[in-house]
Amino acid sequence: MTDLHFPLAAVVGADELKLALYLAAIDAGLGGVLIEGPRGMAKSTLARGIAELLPEGIFVTLPLGASEERIVGTLDLDAALGEGRAQFSPGVLAKAHGGVLYVDEVNLLPDHLVDLLLDVAASGVNLIERDGLSHRHPARFVLIGTMNPEEGELRPQLLDRFGLKVSLSGQPQPAERAEIVRRRLAFDADPQAFIARWSNEQHALAQRCRDARQLLLNIPLDDVALDEIARRCFAAGVDGLRADLVWLRAARAHAAWRGAGHIEPQDIDAVEHFALAHRRMHTPPPKAAQPPQSPPSGPAETQPDSGEGQWGELPAQAVPMGATRELPRWPKKP
């Protein structure tokens, strides 16, 4: 019997985390998402929910005690001698292809294993070499790592290689907390009925992700957006150029999530904190306080919803899982 999982569309709050995960699912080449924060924040529920929005729906958890061979797979040398070819036994990376690889407490993994995971997540290919034999296979997945900083930090070199970072802090407001508990109790009491109740919203979310993935590759990485991002990265004092590239791709994914055909200033602004949270060296000066506005003389008007609240603010386009197409070149200025 297939396990029933809490539908992502029914998750209350966690809007920042949802957004970052949507962007990573739209463009798996972003390099994954690092989630920093305490337990009990629905991190695994959200990660599993993102997997269900991907074409293959695969969700693989990496055990903390996993060996390198278990992660990358093994080559059977005896079979190679007897049959004249290497026999490959797939590991965790092969099983995660096309889905989500979830690493809880990634900061407790040995550094060389974290480095290995990030290498494969960036390249989309896993290469195994042993005694002159080699085997390679596609390994394109959304890497989601979680960590509690109180239990140890990642080295800065590894931290920088995660594409996006989200820091969870604070507590939900009382009304939100109560709604979270109500939905959890309803799901536990009758999972099938709860999933059926949220099926329309879940299908709409899945379709939005599919549309975004189709749109993504048609959105140019233009010079105007690049110049603005480069200026801000310089002002933030980030080392290297990884932040520039990740930020640009995340802005493109955000534009696709909105359903737009090109990157706009709102896309650059929306993903800035994801790209710079773990790379910024300089703290930007606080914005000047705005002078108080005089109240209108007439009756107050209800302002339309800008659509920028919750996770519905972003439209992202995802690179189809398994695609190996390179990023388009930036168009030259006339």
Report if residue 323 sits inside a domain.
no
3-class state of residue 100 by DSSP: strand
Whether the predicted pLDDT of 334 surpasses 50: no
Question: Could you tell me which residue, 169 or 303, shows the higher pLDDT?
Answer: 169
Q: In this structure, are 34 and 107 located in the same domain?
A: yes
Provide the domain limits for residue 128.
8-170
> Among 258, 283, 308, where does a domain finish?
283
Per-residue pLDDT tens over the stretch 121-159 = 888 999 998 877 888 999 999 999 998 888 888 888 888
Whether the predicted pLDDT of 14 surpasses 90: no
Nearest-angstrom CA–CA distance, 276 and 119? 20
Nearest-angstrom CA–CA distance, 169 and 91? 35
pLDDT at 92: 96
Per-residue pLDDT tens over the stretch 80-127 = 566 656 688 899 999 999 999 999 999 999 999 999 998 898 889 999
Environment class of 160 (CB within 10 Å of its CB; exposed 0-12, middle 13-18, buried 19+): buried
* Phi, psi (deg, nearest 5) at residue 288: -65, 140
Whether the predicted pLDDT of 63 surpasses 70: yes
CB 250 within 8 A of CB 23: yes
pLDDT at 38: 79
pLDDT at 148: 85
Q: In this structure, are 242 and 141 located in the same domain?
A: no
Q: In this structure, are 145 and 225 located in the same domain?
A: no
Half-sphere exposure of 202 (CA within 13 A, CB side): 19
3-class state of residue 326 by DSSP: coil
Report if residue 302 sits inside a domain.
no
Report if residue 313 sits inside a domain.
no
Percentage of the chain beyond pLDDT 90 is 55
pTM higher than 0.85: no
Indicate the average pLDDT of the chain: 82
Catalytic residue among 242, 258, 279, 280: 242
Q: In this structure, are 135 and 47 located in the same domain?
A: yes
Q: In this structure, are 56 and 115 located in the same domain?
A: yes
CATH number for the domain spanning 62: value is 3.40.50.300
Nearest-angstrom CA–CA distance, 219 and 239? 27
Q: In this structure, are 136 and 37 located in the same domain?
A: yes
242 included as an active-site residue:
yes
Report if residue 133 sits inside a domain.
yes
